[in-house]
Structure 1
Amino acid sequence: MEHARRHTIAMGLVTALVGFTSSFAVVLAGLRAVGATPAQAASGLAALCVTQALGMLWLSWRYRTPLTLAWSTPGAALLASQGAVDGGWPAAVGAFLLVGILILATGLLTPLGRLIGLIPPSIAQAMLAGVLLPLCLAPFTSLADRPWLVGALIVVWLVTQRVASRWATPLTFGVAVVMMVVAATRDGGVPVAAPTLELTAPTFTWGAMLGLAIPLYIVTMASQNVPGVAVLRAAGYETPWKPSMIVTGIGSLAGAGFGGHAINLAAITAALPASPESHPDPKRRWVATATAGWAYLAIAVVAASLTALVDAAPAGLLEAVAGLALLATFASSVSGSMADADDRVPAAITLLLAASGVAILGIGSAFWALLLGLGVRWLLRRRAPLTPEASTPAREPQL
């Protein structure tokens, strides 16, 4: 029994380590892209660690279920691809607040959750793939400037994918950290920063609300919360949907002012504490999630130092790590978007427009990609006009 308990705690630590190292570079890249200073990005990273940790501790204890939370990695990729918004960083913080409100409303208002369910998976996946494409190109575009550094990261990632795919991104990140430390040592020493939370007063602009908040909410729901429920169900657990949305909504609201973009149900890492490897007794696996929560609180303390180290890293290194971390998600999104032959044209339009980064009326490309994709899909799926031989009227299809 004691051995099983130690193994459960170890699984919780692994869950936190894999979750953090596999995507924190994406979070930093996203926050910096929408206007955060290094200090504000460090604050956002720490806020995300704290809010998801507290959410995990409460949900796992209350429901005795391995309800693992995470930050929205697809959402962070969206920030990185959309870039600066109208109104700068304060407007981005205003968008984060709106996302928190929408997630909370999803738990309180059943129709809102159903409305998200009406978005065709092919269009949602295509928008996500388009958002990820620029980031996934980064490892290869960076090769020209830093062939040895970035090339080494790609080789490490590929080799580890072959022998232990779960650890490919964490190990690649570890190699990148070594490179960063060596570069920082040559430039005067490894930077160390005290943990801090920096509050930003939000502003609200139409460009940020429509171009950032709405797509961020949609990708968080479609690419994190819905798959998160499926992962837990596959492991034999039912997710308390309403409480989970309320907790993650409140957590997102609490962290938004400090730069946190959104927290949600974990998808990939949720499988670790919920698996039999965590504990032979399914009723005891929640301890692994609780352990991961405590680990994230500890990680929050070093968030500022990690951000300072990344900020001093050679150009292109962070983007390369982030791109490699998202390659599997990109491949899955492309596959999902093209699975339905009837939706391939609207999905392709959605993907390409989202990847273009074009802003219209100050609103980012992800919003327009979703809108145009839905419109083209509706147009192409309309029934053909009645012919004289037709004996029954055509009906408008529903999205």
Structure 2
Amino acid sequence: MLDIKWIRENEQALDEALKKRGAVPIAAELVAMDERRRNVIQRLQDMQSRRNAASKEIGAAMGQKNLELAEKLKAEVAQIKDTMPAAEQEEREAIAALDDVLSRLPNIPFDDVPVGKDEHDNVVARVFGEKPRWNHPAKEHFEIGEALGYMDFDRAAKLSGSRFTVLTSQLARLERALGQFMLDMHTMEHGYTEVSSPLMVKAEAMFGTGQLPKFEEDLFKTTDGRYLIPTAEVTLTNLVSGEILDQEKLPLRFTALTPSFRSEAGSAGRDTRGMLRQHQFWKCELVSITDAESAVAEHERMTECAENVLKRLGLHFRTMTLCTGDMGFSARKTYDIEVWLPGQDAYREISSCSVCGDFQARRMNARHRVKDEKALRFVHTLNGSGTAVGRCMIAVLENYLNEDGSVTIPDALLPYMGGLTKIEKA
């Protein structure tokens, strides 16, 4: 959530930033709503002050035997008490109205973020490796998996409907191996703390990281009002919700390997074949909690940690700087890592790493102390995929496909595969 004080002082900057993100300029309306809120609060405070002062004056009048003045003051206090509930309700409504609009505003992009409308305006930051060259034709992952006999979409549809997959035997083992490999790398080599956290959260947690209220249609909601997490970013970031941290303990770095659940609202007809866009998938998430001075460097570090997963697996990828129109709601800057999929003859996103400034921290009220400063500061948050397990498996299947239909297992995964060096048809 953006700081209304900053908005009052930077109306033009806000409107320019919103235009870059393809949103409607709204600064003047926000300032007017804030003015109303402040006026209502001031009027209520004046009423409370006058009520308290009049109550003291009643005592003084009674002590001086001035009954006429005392009765007049009592009538004034009674009138104030009668008026205050309406004023308090007006205050609640003014605060709620402003907060509702603020909660739906996207974050302000950094100055170095390229301006653009959509993914076509994203900019290549760097490229790793080269596209594989074979004598045999490339195939898409679902062709490979079904031919091997370990990937079943029909049975998944029988169980749960579309956008689900059943993996068996060696592909189920490969999925597990990828997740464990990622988790081990991030904890043992990159210094992240492993976390096992809930898969269901309260609405407050979803609000804290920006999924609510604007993106509720993308979420799965339980009958008791909880939500299935669309990413472990929600739980890992909200670990510090409402807390005051010591700056000396920053940065905090968390990682978790969890299922993620997404309704995929608005994606009808997109990626309907295979595992690219699922309602349920495994993902290794990275979250950092830090301060303003360290956030940009931490963003570069986090992105490198995610890139290292693909480097270790020998996968060709490119890292893109997202333009203003393609960034996520909470981000100030985002790198997307796009892995090469020979079967699609295309790059596809496998990780997205974002720095969010204090945008989420304000929603969560997560702050930190600074040495020799009385005032508390909001922490700065970052999140990224390290990486999406299903998409990583797709990349392994398509990039390590052999002419006979088998799939060579990358060296980095061999310790997790129980002696298997290839995935072959049963």
* Higher RCO structure, 1 or 2 (CA under 8 Å, sep 6+): 1
Q: TM-score surpassing 0.5?
A: no
Task: Specify the TM-score bucket, using the shorter chain as the normaliser.
Answer: under 0.3
Normalized per residue, which structure has more helix? 1
Normalized per residue, which structure has more strand? 2
TM-score w.r.t. the length of structure 2 is 0.25
Q: Tell me which structure has the larger Cα radius of gyration.
A: 2
TM-score w.r.t. the length of structure 1 is 0.26
